[in-house]
């Protein structure tokens, strides 16, 4: 098993996190739940503090600790992917978790149990958000709602705390897109999934790396890289306005013939409504093509073959668990 931890300026929590995870790994190994060659991989996402220095020191003193240094800050999602791609061929299961350990590491054992029971992906889901501020709770919840409304499959109250099997990881690596929103992609992989529930703790030290600005851009990224519905909405608006223009025409003609208009008003009003609607519709149509192109260039895998049953020598695809 591998535990992947992305870290950006996590100097205040790093040592404690490493110690807690080490204790956990030792305990699970001792009880025969995971193999003795399990390890953790910390990814330094271009930190500007002493994070990397601490990692190097930890590596010297701890056999279970591996470290990876990214040359520049690439953001949580990319840092996590870097770590996962590194461990993907060197583990049977990988668990990703934030460096601040706000997510309860106590449920890792339960995750593994669910993996052993046949799940390829086990999501860590927050039971409640008592420790979050009202603001964070509200923004996060609206985020999931909007995502679902726009047709992006995502797991409610699940961040990037999850277990993935080797074959699920390999499939994740097939997604070559740049605008990476791992949380949205993982549900597309398929396989049997399961959830474990836990209470999210407060950050013990250091501060959140997701200020409002980053949260908004994260949400926007998530939506625009999964859905072209906003474009369809523009088109819909165009159609509605063209429809309105018919009503406006009746009103304009009526006023014109009753003679209660200033000269020139009728023709200007008629053009504004109709042309406005037509323009929106045209933009929407162009947008649909741009949207299709966008979906194409991502070259996402179209399917994920889990197994083939055939009556010849090569009997199955993928590994048997």
Given the rule CB under 5 A, which residues bind Mg ion?
A: 98, 100, 102
Q: In this complex, which beta carbon is closest to ligand UDP, that of residue 17 or of residue 227?
A: 17
Q: Which residue is nearest to Mg ion (CB)?
A: 100
Q: In this complex, which beta carbon is closest to ligand UDP, that of residue 7 or of residue 231?
A: 7
Q: Residue 102 CB, nearest distance to ligand UDP (Å)?
A: 5
Picked from ligand UDP, Mg ion, none, the partner binding residue 209 (CB below 5 to 8 A depending on kind) is ligand UDP
- Please tell me what DSSP assigns to residue 46: S
**Alpha carbon 118 to chain centroid distance?**
23
What is residue 211's three-state secondary structure? coil
Q: Are 4 and 76 in contact (CB under 8 A)?
A: no
Picked from Mg ion, ligand UDP, none, the partner binding residue 73 (CB below 5 to 8 A depending on kind) is ligand UDP
Q: In this complex, which beta carbon is closest to Mg ion, that of residue 9 or of residue 102?
A: 102
Q: What residue ranges bind ligand UDP (CB under 6 A)?
A: 6-8, 10, 45, 73, 75-76, 79, 98-100, 102, 208-210
Q: Residue 280 CB, nearest distance to ligand UDP (Å)?
A: 37
Q: Residue 142 CB, nearest distance to ligand UDP (Å)?
A: 15
Q: Report the chain's C-alpha Rg in angstroms.
A: 26
Q: In this complex, which beta carbon is closest to ligand UDP, that of residue 9 or of residue 171?
A: 9
Q: Residue 249 CB, nearest distance to ligand UDP (Å)?
A: 52
Q: In this complex, which beta carbon is closest to Mg ion, that of residue 11 or of residue 92?
A: 11
Beta strands in the chain (DSSP E): 2-7, 39-45, 65-70, 93-96, 121-126, 158-165, 193-198
Q: Residue 99 CB, nearest distance to ligand UDP (Å)?
A: 3
Q: What is the rounded distance in angstroms from the CA atom of residue 16 to the CA atom of residue 13?
A: 6
Q: Residue 41 CB, nearest distance to ligand UDP (Å)?
A: 13
Q: In this complex, which beta carbon is closest to ligand UDP, that of residue 143 or of residue 191?
A: 143
Q: Are 145 and 104 in contact (CB under 8 A)?
A: no
Q: Residue 212 CB, nearest distance to ligand UDP (Å)?
A: 11
H-assigned helices in 31-75: 51-61
Q: What is the rounded distance in angstroms from the CA atom of residue 149 to the CA atom of residue 154?
A: 11
Q: Are 42 and 68 in contact (CB under 8 A)?
A: yes
- Please tell me what DSSP assigns to residue 314: -
Q: In this complex, which beta carbon is closest to ligand UDP, that of residue 46 or of residue 301?
A: 46
Picked from ligand UDP, Mg ion, none, the partner binding residue 8 (CB below 5 to 8 A depending on kind) is ligand UDP
Q: What is the rounded distance in angstroms from the CA atom of residue 107 to the CA atom of residue 22?
A: 15
Report the residue count for the chain: 321
Q: Is the dihedral of CA 132, 135, 139, 142 positive or negative?
A: positive
Picked from Mg ion, ligand UDP, none, the partner binding residue 235 (CB below 5 to 8 A depending on kind) is none
Q: In this complex, which beta carbon is closest to ligand UDP, that of residue 58 or of residue 98?
A: 98
- Cβ neighbours of residue 24 closer than 8 Å, sequence gap 6 or more: 105, 108
Whose tokens are 């040592």? That residue is 15
Picked from Mg ion, ligand UDP, none, the partner binding residue 45 (CB below 5 to 8 A depending on kind) is ligand UDP
Picked from ligand UDP, Mg ion, none, the partner binding residue 64 (CB below 5 to 8 A depending on kind) is none
Q: What is the rounded distance in angstroms from the CA atom of residue 20 to the CA atom of residue 123?
A: 21
- Cβ neighbours of residue 270 closer than 8 Å, sequence gap 6 or more: 245, 248, 249, 252
Q: Residue 17 CB, nearest distance to Mg ion (Å)?
A: 11
């Amino acid at each position: 098993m591998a535990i992947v931890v992305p870290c950006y300026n996590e100097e205040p929590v790093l040592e404690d996190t490493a110690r807690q995870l080490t204790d956990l790994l030792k305990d699970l190994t001792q009880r025969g739940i995971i193999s003795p060659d399990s390890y953790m991989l910390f990814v330094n996402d271009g930190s500007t503090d002493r994070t990397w220095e601490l990692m190097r020191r930890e590596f010297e003193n701890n056999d279970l600790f591996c470290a990876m240094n990214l040359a520049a800050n690439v953001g949580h999602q990319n840092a996590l992917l870097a770590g996962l791609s590194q461990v993907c061929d060197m583990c049977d299961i990988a668990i990703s978790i934030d460096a601040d350990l706000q997510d309860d590491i106590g449920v890792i054992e339960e995750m593994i149990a669910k993996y052993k029971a046949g799940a390829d992906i086990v999501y860590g889901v927050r039971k409640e958000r008592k420790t979050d501020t009202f603001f964070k709770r509200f923004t996060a919840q609206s985020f999931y709602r909007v995502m679902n409304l726009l047709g992006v499959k995502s797991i409610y109250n699940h961040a990037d705390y999850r277990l993935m099997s080797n074959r699920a990881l390999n499939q994740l690596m097939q997604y070559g897109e740049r605008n990476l929103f791992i949380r949205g992609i993982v549900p597309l992989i398929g396989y049997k999934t399961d959830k474990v529930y836990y209470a999210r703790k407060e950050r013990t030290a250091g501060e959140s790396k997701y200020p409002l600005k980053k949260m908004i851009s994260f949400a926007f990224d998530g939506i625009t890289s999964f859905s072209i519905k906003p474009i369809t909405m523009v088109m819909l608006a165009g159609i509605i306005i063209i429809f309105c223009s018919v009503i406006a025409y009746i009103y304009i003609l009526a006023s014109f013939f009753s003679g209660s208009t200033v000269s020139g008003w009728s023709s200007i009003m008629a053009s504004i409504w109709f042309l406005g609607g037509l323009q929106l519709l045209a933009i929407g149509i162009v947008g649909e093509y741009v949207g299709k192109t966008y979906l194409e260039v991502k070259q996402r895998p179209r399917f994920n073959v889990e197994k083939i049953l055939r009556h010849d020598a090569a009997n199955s695809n993928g590994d048997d668990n």
